[in-house]
A and B are shown apart, each in its own frame.
Chain A
């Protein structure tokens, strides 16, 4: 299905948020996920179904300051 991930439109064969993370080889521990501006709790990544044209934001930890 077509999804917008961090502002870019992508076509992926997935059904849940966890599928997207797996497809992109992203460790779920290292990212906060928003679907259509709603934060998804880590324990719900595998049960959150996606639909056509959903907007996903992957927010990675950015720790530096020094």
Chain B
């Protein structure tokens, strides 16, 4: 595959970078990234990945756009209220960059479909709002040996970590199991300053691009916590946990768990 003149112009600022160049841009155009959730995190992630010329972006979300989403879910515009989030997101990404193939899945990620979908992608982005789904994504990515960029946001804070299966700590190395339902607030309950979604989402997109280009140091074995109130980042070193039920030497989890999903958690 070679680039057209327009594509060379479109991606010229990437191609200028020695770490990217024409070769790297080609890698991006052949890459497939799966974004779970077309909400606060999923929107900036997919928007920037689309602009960057990622060849295929998969978007899964079963929700429709709500007026209360627009404060942070930047791919959805006022006329989209009531429309499917994946359709709304797909339109904006393709208006920005028609080179991008956007696969939409208007459903929830479950223990039944997760591995089969994830298998088709090179990198997965966690942009979901509930713990059962975060554990499901972590487990499915490990079992499919697919790198995952984990993200979380709440109130004025956000967190990112990249997980390369068998190489770096997974989500379960830190958190063994989802917390009891209802004890940890969601954005819906506790609020979120919209811009934090953009900050964390663009870091997640950066991690995906680095993984695809194999440049720099991935955010592995490091949990990056951001606090917008003080504009501080804190990096917490983590490592693979020998007692991890998923990726430890005595792992007991060999298939996906269908946790009881909490009621509609505005993914």
B253 → chain A closest CB, angstroms: 16
Q: Does residue B238 face the partner (Cβ distance < 8 Å to A)?
A: yes
A65 to B42, CA, bound (A): 8
**Which one of B159, B223, B267 lies within 8 Å of A66 (CB-CB)?**
B267
**Which one of A29, A30, A39, A65 lies within 8 Å of B174 (CB-CB)?**
A39
Q: Does residue A34 face the partner (Cβ distance < 8 Å to B)?
A: yes
A39 → chain B closest CB, angstroms: 5
B52 → chain A closest CB, angstroms: 21
Is the pair B175, A32 in contact by a Cβ cutoff of 8 Å? yes
Q: When A and B form their complex, what is the total count of cross-chain residue pairs whose Cβ atoms lie within 8 Å?
A: 89
**Which one of B37, B186, B223, B239 lies within 8 Å of A59 (CB-CB)?**
B223
Q: Does residue B55 face the partner (Cβ distance < 8 Å to A)?
A: no
Is the pair B37, A65 in contact by a Cβ cutoff of 8 Å? yes
Interface size class of A (residues with CB under 8 A): 20 to 34
The segment out of B9-17, B20-28, B124-132, B140-148 that lies at the interface is B124-132
Within 8 A of B (CB), among A9-66: 27, 29-30, 32, 34, 37, 39, 41-42, 57, 59-66
CB closest chain-B residue, reference A42: B176
A59 to B184, CA, bound (A): 13
Question: Digit string of B12-46 for contact with A (CB within 8 Å is 1, else 0)?
Answer: 00000000000000000000000001011110000
A30-B179, A59-B174, A61-B179 as given contacts; A66 in contact with B187, CB under 8 Å? yes
Interface residues of A (CB under 8 A from B): 6-7, 27, 29-30, 32, 34, 37, 39, 41-42, 57, 59-66
